């Protein structure tokens, strides 16, 4: 029988130092199919893909591409053989133009070796037309692009290499609804042209939408390979986590108390205008909207990262001046930022250092750090959120994306704040850890903390919030109580089609 696999990875093993992260994992991709690779944070998905790309060497196992042993001695060779990867963390080459990035290292040249920009731009435009991409210009500077646009550039690059297999490692974690739609359209188009995809995502809804087959990993082990029609959401979750997740969103039983924070007509020119809201102790207030609505910017201003041009902030009924994050922390406000690499983690430092960074004072006695106590508290969070690290000394750069996020969540909980602002707290986090983080948020609210949560995931907003504010293009377009909120009315407000303000 003819084999119809474009790629076979068989019995792959890989250890970092002494830690086995892939233990006899296999993955077989059919030609012209979208294959989802699923598993919890730290399961080994990105590592498996980096082995395929030749970034990491495998310890044992074999890779066959188009039925032949695949020699992946360098990234360029892999690209030329027809495999491209769009990485979980895109690093933009900021000063380069879009077309230069796409043709990097293979720029069209005149006879004398001078770059032929005209041809490069024209070739790029041709690729855009082919994929129906209208929102990008070949001459645009990479640094000015949104995440979605950068991903499109990467896809265009893959197509320009005539890639037969394209790997996407959490491509949608920062995309809006519409951008996701566009991405899926392009995937489908290329699929019909015979291109195969490996698609990694923690959003199960989209797995059902785009993929034909799935492979599930757990803790570096191969759990199974299925056609998507054989499975439902619950069975996938159960295989991923190894247990049943019954109720994703916990019920918060306490009633909201006094107003903890009130914001009046807050503005930063060009970013957002006249934003007013309040949040009570014991309340979870959701901020819905599309990516780019200005929600993060509002919270960055409340926390003192940005300078307000107008408006007032009250904490416990008293007006406060917050000019820097230190002022905010003094008001017992904590802020979990969305961009963990830029404003969150110190990648070279260990997970323990990262976790205790803002709460070091509390852990000093005289000049000495209470290291033993820190280790004990670290262990509590590690257990609670199932943070997967080789040891607490491991640099956070080496953690999987989701585990980095868990370190940040723990960090802010350690500062014992009263008002906790969470910006996309479960971005890139697997479903099992998500349910742990929701439990934790709910129990904080029950203890009387005031929680403000920005989220672009509709089920999360609806499942967790007592009240929901909706923003659209820098303006507040709605406020809804939990019982009035539905996916439809939030979406209408988030797209500016409808307004409902008290
Ligand atoms: N360069 C490295 N050195 C040491 N350990 C590493 C390195 N890269 C990854 N690991 C470890 O390997 C394991 C698998 O990580 P990987 O990034 O593949 O997970 P993942 O499935 O992609 O998770 P996520 O969903 O969070 O992105 C993790 O425990 C991680 O800490
Ligand atoms: Mg990963």
1, pLDDT greater than 50: no
Q: What is residue 400's three-state secondary structure?
A: coil
pLDDT digits (tens, 9 = 90+) for 75-117: 889 999 999 998 876 666 678 899 999 998 888 888 888 889 9
Rounded Cα distance, 425 and 405, in Å: 8
The residues, ordered by sequence, that sit 6+ positions from 98 with a Cβ below 8 Å of its Cβ are: 124, 136, 137, 138, 139, 140, 141, 142, 145, 153
Q: Which two tokens stand for residue 252?
A: 């918060």
Rounded to the nearest whole angstrom, what is the distance from the C-alpha of residue 240 to the centroid of ligand 2? 14
For the CA of 49, the nearest atom of ligand 1: 18
Q: Map out the domains of the chain as residue ranges.
A: 5-92+145-241, 259-332+418-430+450-502, 343-416
Question: What pLDDT sits at residue 327?
Answer: 92
Rounded to the nearest whole angstrom, what is the distance from the C-alpha of residue 403 to the centroid of ligand 1? 9
Considering the entire predicted model, what is its pTM?
Answer: 0.73
Give exposure, 229-258, as e/b (b: 16+ Cβ within 10 Å).
Answer: eebeeeebbebbbeeeeeeebbebeeebee
Residues 13-39 have a mean pLDDT of 93
Rounded to the nearest whole angstrom, what is the distance from the C-alpha of residue 238 to the centroid of ligand 1? 21
Q: How confident is the model at residue 311 (pLDDT cuts 50, 70, 90)?
A: very high
Rounded Cα distance, 363 and 356, in Å: 8
Rounded Cα distance, 242 and 83, in Å: 32
Residues 56-80 have a mean pLDDT of 92
Q: Tell whether ligand 1 has an atom less than 6 A from the beta carbon of residue 402.
A: yes
For the CA of 405, the nearest atom of ligand 1: 26
pLDDT digits (tens, 9 = 90+) for 489-500: 898 898 888 777
Q: Which two tokens stand for residue 456?
A: 């672009």
CATH topology of domain 5-92+145-241: Rossmann fold (3.40.50)
Q: What is the mean pLDDT of the chain?
A: 88
pLDDT digits (tens, 9 = 90+) for 151-167: 888 889 988 999 999 99
Rounded Cα distance, 22 and 278, in Å: 48
Q: Tell whether ligand 1 has an atom less than 6 A from the beta carbon of residue 43.
A: yes
Most confident of 400-409, 412-421, 426-435, 475-484: 475-484
Q: At what angle do helices 117-131 and 147-160 cross, to 10 degrees?
A: 100
CATH of domain 259-332+418-430+450-502: 3.40.50.300
> Can 5-92+145-241 and 259-332+418-430+450-502 be said to share one CATH topology?
yes
Residues 404-414 have a mean pLDDT of 83
């Amino acid at each position: 029988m003819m084999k119809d696999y474009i790629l076979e990875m068989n019995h792959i093993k890989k250890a970092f130092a002494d830690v086995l992260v892939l233990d006899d994992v296999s993955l077989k991709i059919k030609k012209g199919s979208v294959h989802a690779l699923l598993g919890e944070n730290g399961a080994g998905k990105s590592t498996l893909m980096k082995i395929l790309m030749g970034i990491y060497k495998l310890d044992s196992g074999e890779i066959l591409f188009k039925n032949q042993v695949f020699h992946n001695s360098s990234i360029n060779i892999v690209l030329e053989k027809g495999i491209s990867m769009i990485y979980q963390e895109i690093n933009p080459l900021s000063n380069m133009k879009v077309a230069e990035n796409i043709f990097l290292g293979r720029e069209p040249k005149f006879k004398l070796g001078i770059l032929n920009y005209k041809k490069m731009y024209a070739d790029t435009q041709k690729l855009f037309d082919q994929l129906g991409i209208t929102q990008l210009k070949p001459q645009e500077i990479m640094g000015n692009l949104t995440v979605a646009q950068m991903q499109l550039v990467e896809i265009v690059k893959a197509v320009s290499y005539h890639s037969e297999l394209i790997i996407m490692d959490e491509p949608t974690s920062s995309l809006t609804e519409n951008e996701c739609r566009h991405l899926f359209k392009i995937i489908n188009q290329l699929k019909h042209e015979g291109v195969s995809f490996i698609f990694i995502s923690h959003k199960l809804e989209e797995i059902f939408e785009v993929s034909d087959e799935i492979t599930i990993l757990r803790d570096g082990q191969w759990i199974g390979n299925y056609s998507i029609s054989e499975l439902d959401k619950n069975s996938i979750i159960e295989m991923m986590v190894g247990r049943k997740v019954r109720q994703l969103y916990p019920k918060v039983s306490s009633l909201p108390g006094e107003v903890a924070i009130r914001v009046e007509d807050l503005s930063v020119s060009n970013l957002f205008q006249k934003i007013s809201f309040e949040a009570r102790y014991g309340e979870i207030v959701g901020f819905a909207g599309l990516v780019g609505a200005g929600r993060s910017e509002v919270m960055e201003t409340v926390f003192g990262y940005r300078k307000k041009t107008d408006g007032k902030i009250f904490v416990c009924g008293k007006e406060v001046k917050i000019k820097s994050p230190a002022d905010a922390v003094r008001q017992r406000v904590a802020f979990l930022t969305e961009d963990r690499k830029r404003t969150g983690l110190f990648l070279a430092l260990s997970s323990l250092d990262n976790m205790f960074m803002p709460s070091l004072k509390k852990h000093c006695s005289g000049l000495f750090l209470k290291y033993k106590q820190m280790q004990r508290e670290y262990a509590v969070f590690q257990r609670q959120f199932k943070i997967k690290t080789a040891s607490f000394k491991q640099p956070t750069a080496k953690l999987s994306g989701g585990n980095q996020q868990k370190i940040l969540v723990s960090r802010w909980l350690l500062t014992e704040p009263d008002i906790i602002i969470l910006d996309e707290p479960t971005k890139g986090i697997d479903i099992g850890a998500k349910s742990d983080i929701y439990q934790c948020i709910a129990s904080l609210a029950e203890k009387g903390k005031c929680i403000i949560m920005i989220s672009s995931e509709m089920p999360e907003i609806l499942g967790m919030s007592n009240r929901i504010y909706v923003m659209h293009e820098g303006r507040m377009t709605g406020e809804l109580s939990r019982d009035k909120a539905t996916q439809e009315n939030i979406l209408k407000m988030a797209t500016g089609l409808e307004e409902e303000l008290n």
